[in-house]
Structure 1
Amino acid sequence: MKKLNPSIKHHSLIGAFISVWIFLFAFFIRPFEHGTMDLQVWIKVSLGFSLVAFLCYGLTSFLQKFVYQKVSEWSIRLEIMSLLFFYILYTISTYIYYKSSIIKGIYDFFEFFTEIILIASLILTPILILVRIYSIKLIPETSDAITIKGDNKLDILKIKQSELICISNSQNYVEIFFLENGQLKSKLIRSSLKKLETNFDFLIQVHRSHLINPAHFKSWKDSTTISLTQLEIPVSKNYKSRLLAL
């Protein structure tokens, strides 16, 4: 995995799924049987193991979100470390519960790990990985689509913000320059630069007749002209300072 869904809400659902799976596994498979464990004890075992799983995965979710926010990326190594942290925390917590007066387990730690945890983790891990991969699809998609509307009803242009290069004044119209499949295109709509500058605050005015998308600024051609993506436009002295700050 090279991405992570940091949502605590989504990982709480994964934790709930793990909890239910462990309850069913412990109750019906009964990976250990001491011979004296009746139905009531097995209900305690199953509930206890499933609750501990939910809490351990919840703690893992908070930790991985903290790490993800710090490094701003995710990797297979971090994914493996996250799963290992969950299993280590779960193993220690369930062993304490298993040896408590509630269960009175007779296995030592090595037997507990090999006979219970190892078997359960070999079955659970592929399922857990698939569920975590699926959770990435639940991340809300961020779209940079914008809609530019003119005074006439048919004056509508829907493009991505990243595709908009600049907007130039053209008498009672404005000419919008944008990319479409990598090719420079333009469209005239009846509107004003002032109105579009107000509607789209990411635009920068560089001339009384030009607004630019700073993402497409390339370089200065000379002291009065700049190069944008597939375009060159003039710059007024009054607006030069805004560009120099980029």
Structure 2
Amino acid sequence: MKQLYPFDPLLRHHFIISLLLAVWIFIFLYFTEPLDVNEFNTNEKLIFLPGYGLLGGICYLVFLPFQYYLYKRTENKWTLINEIIFLVSFAVISIVVARLYYLYVIMIGERNPYTLGYMLKTIYLPALVTILPIIIIGRFAFGKYHEKRLEDQKIEIQGEGNYEGLRLQLNDLICIQSSDNYIEVYYLSGHRLKKTLIRNKLSAIDNEFPELLRTHRSYLVNPFHFRRWKTENGKLIICLNYDIEVPVSKTYQKDIKEAIQFTTN
């Protein structure tokens, strides 16, 4: 089993990381003065050095689509391998971009620029050792914060007695069907539809979670997954995501139509 790693998919938090990265790169270069930086006057430092920081922040943002591609490939789960791949790829591209900036902006018109090997040894790799921890800490902290928020938002469908329950996000729950002394819970795990049998009564779940709608004496549905209405042999059916169809008895038709209209508007 692949080891999961804290991950925050929210774009605004990654913008914050890119901003912190840009500021930190500028501060690092301004005060450590690697290579020819100590030969710049104050104005030149303020002209050229922010460019390195800006490029670092932009490189991070440009790599976000690649990050989300990896995220979807692992069914919306972020692994340690994904994190390593992202960081290594980002580091390599950042070095290439920084090298191009040095050759075609900093040293344009100048002869004998430093070689790539020399710059790797004296500035790029030492800079990465200083800069990467900022990225790692920021991503890890936001990932943990996101996981905590998700955990706090979860609901728990408990089983009677010693029977195990189910803890999940409300929007991952699609519907619940009564089955004798049990209930069958249809829910999402990543992008996969799953079903879990729990010893409990549908009436108890109905009372505990008013967000769910009663469509039938044997069914509760989550209006978040509503797709459309359907009539078959004179009977009303509510169609949910993942091609799940649930009958609607005449007793609940008026109430559920009003509730669906209210929640989907």
TM over 0.5: yes
| Aligned mate of 2:24, from 16, 21, 24 | 21
Contact 1:56/1:90 (8 A) holds in 2? yes
- 1:15 and 1:202, CA in 2 relative to 1: closer, same or farther beyond 3 A? same
- 1:213 and 1:44, CA in 2 relative to 1: closer, same or farther beyond 3 A? farther
| Aligned mate of 1:202, from 163, 168, 175 | 175
Q: Measure, in 2, the Cα distance between the counterparts of 1:30 and 1:181.
A: 65
Cα drift, residue 15 of structure 1 = 0.8
Q: Secondary structure at the match of 1:215?
A: strand
| Aligned mate of 1:99, from 95, 99, 103 | 103
Cα drift, residue 96 of structure 1 = 0.7
| Aligned mate of 2:89, from 85, 88, 95 | 85
Q: 1:141 aligns to what? A: 150
Q: Measure, in 2, the Cα distance between the counterparts of 1:97 and 1:6.
A: 30
Cα drift, residue 138 of structure 1 = 2.9
Pick the structure with more helix per residue.
Answer: 2
Q: Measure, in 2, the Cα distance between the counterparts of 1:89 and 1:203.
A: 49
Q: Measure, in 2, the Cα distance between the counterparts of 1:141 and 1:82.
A: 23
Cα drift, residue 230 of structure 1 = 4.4
Aligned pairs for 1:1-246 (under 5 A) are 2-33=5-36, 36-72=39-75, 73-104=77-108, 106-139=113-146, 140-141=149-150, 143-145=153-155, 160=156, 162-163=157-158, 178-179=159-160, 182=163, 202-204=175-177, 213-215=183-185, 229-230=198-199
Amino acid in the other structure paired with 1:98: Y
Contact 1:23/1:50 (8 A) holds in 2? yes
How big is the alpha-carbon RMSD for the aligned residues of Structure 1 and Structure 2?
A: 3.6
Q: Secondary structure at the match of 1:133?
A: helix
- 1:34 and 1:206, CA in 2 relative to 1: closer, same or farther beyond 3 A? closer
Cα drift, residue 180 of structure 1 = 6.7
TM-score (structure 1 length as normaliser): 0.61
Q: Which has the larger radius of gyration?
A: 1
Q: Measure, in 2, the Cα distance between the counterparts of 1:27 and 1:61.
A: 27
Q: Measure, in 2, the Cα distance between the counterparts of 1:95 and 1:201.
A: 52
Q: Measure, in 2, the Cα distance between the counterparts of 1:41 and 1:181.
A: 71
Cα drift, residue 35 of structure 1 = 6.0
Contact 1:60/1:86 (8 A) holds in 2? yes
Counting aligned pairs with the same residue, the percent is: 20
Amino acid in the other structure paired with 2:150: E
User: Structure 1 unaligned runs (5+)?
Assistant: 146-159, 164-177, 185-199, 217-227, 234-238
Aligned residues: 181
- 1:98 and 1:203, CA in 2 relative to 1: closer, same or farther beyond 3 A? same
